[in-house]
Amino acid sequence: MSDKSLKVNIQKKLKEFNLEVDFELKKGCLGILGPSGCGKSMTLKSVAGIVDPDNGIVSLTTDEEYIYFDSTKKINLKPQKRKVGYLFQNYALFPNMTVEENVAAGLSKDDDEKRVSEMIRRFHLEGLEKRYPRQLSGGQQQRVALARILAYGPDVILLDEPFSAMDAFLKEQLRLELVRLLEDFDGFSILVTHDRDEVFQFCDDLIILDKGKVIAQGPTHEVFENPGKVQVARLTGCKNISRVEIIDDYHVKSIDWGVEFEVSEKISPEITHIGIRAHDFSAAGKDEVNVFGTNDSSKLEKPFEWEITLANGLWWKVDKKIHEHDFVIPEYLKVDPENIILLEE
């Protein structure tokens, strides 16, 4: 058997920018992270065949190679011919069909009854078979949509902001269900989101898109640990980012915070900014490396963390227990040199 892979190399001219995406997925789930309107959903629609790229190729290799789209060979399979399941933001259930009819949609008459009852069991929809979408909760609707997608055995599942319209409690529940589902799924999946927690939780590999261009790509944990660029650091949740003046190979001055820092790796001339994750500060004595005072700081209590804003604009997050309501801000804070992220514009 040949190596399994999903290859996507497409270009499409859009109103605000040109979309240029190129990746090869060999296993598991790929995350596409980026701000609204950066081309994430357009990429999914091009894989599904809902939208036609101007140029490029989309192909799937399992036991053999299936070309979904190839602009040079004039190949463009209809969505129904691609074994791709697409979970839309609003689930796109048929409002005039019951749960079991929705799950059976798209199946041939020969295999629908057995397959539908199997999916009803798998997605815990027993007792809801005769209900219509309007009679279901958001979580139940999502389970029906996933059951319908998986009923016809897709090779690829596309998830377009699947939790965007949910409250926090339901979101957490369904995230856990989806993690289990994807672990059991033998094909490929792509999750589009602007939520960094979701990509960290679900995705083996990550692409970060900005204005149609891939600005970072690689294993998810590596992209978070070494974002490399200012916009990548922001999109992966780095709250503290400052312009810098380079002092020497291992020292910079933060222009925005007025603090000098020692860093652990040699600074290249391309470095324009540094980033510090909000959890990476700790209490310190005044003679330690990378230490600074905390005068005129303000604190905000949340259920499970304190948010401390320093007078110079730095932001510190400190974990707390639900029953702890007192916190004394230390006189000095420090950040270890290895926790300072070097960034290019």
For the domain that residue 217 is a member of, what is the CATH number? 3.40.50.300
Q: Are residues 126 and 17 in the same domain?
A: yes
Packed helices 138-151 and 168-184: angle between N→C axes, nearest 10 degrees: 20
Q: Are residues 242 and 220 in the same domain?
A: no
The answer to whether 337 and 290 are in contact (CB under 8 A) is yes
Whole-angstrom distance, CA of residue 16 vs CA of residue 36: 13
Task: Kindly indicate the confidence band of residue 316, based on its pLDDT and cuts at 50, 70 and 90.
Answer: very high
Which of the residue ranges 20-29, 110-119, 172-181 has the most confident prediction, judged by mean pLDDT? Answer: 20-29
Q: Are residues 311 and 214 in the same domain?
A: no
Task: Kindly indicate the confidence band of residue 334, based on its pLDDT and cuts at 50, 70 and 90.
Answer: very high
Q: Are residues 74 and 30 in the same domain?
A: yes
Closest of 250, 248, 243 to residue 272, by C-alpha? 243
pLDDT score for 165: 63
Residue 20 lies in a domain: yes
The sheet carrying 315-319 orders its strands as 298-301, 305-309, 315-319
Q: Which of these three, 201, 225, 249, is where a domain ends?
A: 225
Q: Is residue 234 helix, strand or coil?
A: helix
Instruction: Name residue 325's amino acid.
Output: H
Q: Are residues 160 and 198 in the same domain?
A: yes
Closest of 204, 150, 143, 128 to residue 177, by C-alpha? 143
pLDDT score for 166: 67
Residue 230 lies in a domain: no
Q: Are residues 37 and 129 in the same domain?
A: yes
What is the pTM (predicted TM-score) of this model? 0.86
Q: Is residue 23 helix, strand or coil?
A: strand
Give the rounded distance of the alpha carbon of 258 from its chain centre. Answer: 33
| C-alpha distance across the termini of the chain, in Å | 44
Q: How many domains does the chain have?
A: 2
Q: Are residues 200 and 323 in the same domain?
A: no
Residue spans of beta strands (DSSP E) within 53-99: 55-61, 65-70, 75-76, 84-87
Q: What count of other Cβ atoms lies within 10 Å of the Cβ of residue 219?
A: 12
Residue 186 lies in a domain: yes
DSSP letter (8 states) at residue 235? H
Whether the pLDDT of residue 2 is over 70: the answer is no
Residue 291 lies in a domain: yes
Q: What count of other Cβ atoms lies within 10 Å of the Cβ of residue 154?
A: 18
What does the pLDDT average to over 93-117? 86
Whole-angstrom distance, CA of residue 81 vs CA of residue 69: 11
Q: Are residues 217 and 318 in the same domain?
A: no
Q: Are residues 91 and 12 in the same domain?
A: yes
Q: Which of these three, 225, 255, 280, is where a domain ends?
A: 225
Whole-angstrom distance, CA of residue 46 vs CA of residue 177: 27
Q: Are residues 247 and 220 in the same domain?
A: no
How far is the CA of 133 from the CAs of 166, 202, 238, in angstroms? 16, 27, 39
pLDDT digits (tens, 9 = 90+) for 286-299: 899 999 999 999 99
pLDDT digits (tens, 9 = 90+) for 44-92: 999 999 999 999 999 999 888 899 999 999 999 999 899 899 988 778 8
Residue 129 lies in a domain: yes
Whether the pLDDT of residue 163 is over 80: the answer is no
Residue 232 lies in a domain: no
Residue 231 lies in a domain: no
Q: Which of these three, 225, 253, 278, is where a domain ends?
A: 225
Give the CA dihedral 279, 205, 165, 127, nearest 10 degrees: -120
Mean pLDDT value across the chain = 91
What does the pLDDT average to over 18-37? 93
Q: Are residues 158 and 218 in the same domain?
A: yes
Token pair recorded at residue 38: 């950066």
Residue 329 lies in a domain: yes
Q: Are residues 123 and 271 in the same domain?
A: no
The answer to whether 216 and 30 are in contact (CB under 8 A) is no
pLDDT digits (tens, 9 = 90+) for 215-274: 999 999 999 999 999 999 999 999 999 999 999 999 999 999 999 999 999 999 999 999
Closest of 196, 251, 243 to residue 221, by C-alpha? 196
Q: Residue 137: give the domain boundaries.
A: 5-225
The half-sphere exposure of 164 on its side-chain side, counting CA atoms within 13 A, is: 15
pLDDT score for 142: 83
Whether the pLDDT of residue 1 is over 70: the answer is no
Whether the pLDDT of residue 179 is over 90: the answer is no
Closest of 205, 163, 210, 171 to residue 188, by C-alpha? 205
Higher pLDDT, 110 or 81: 81
pLDDT score for 103: 92
pLDDT digits (tens, 9 = 90+) for 203-222: 999 999 999 999 999 999 99
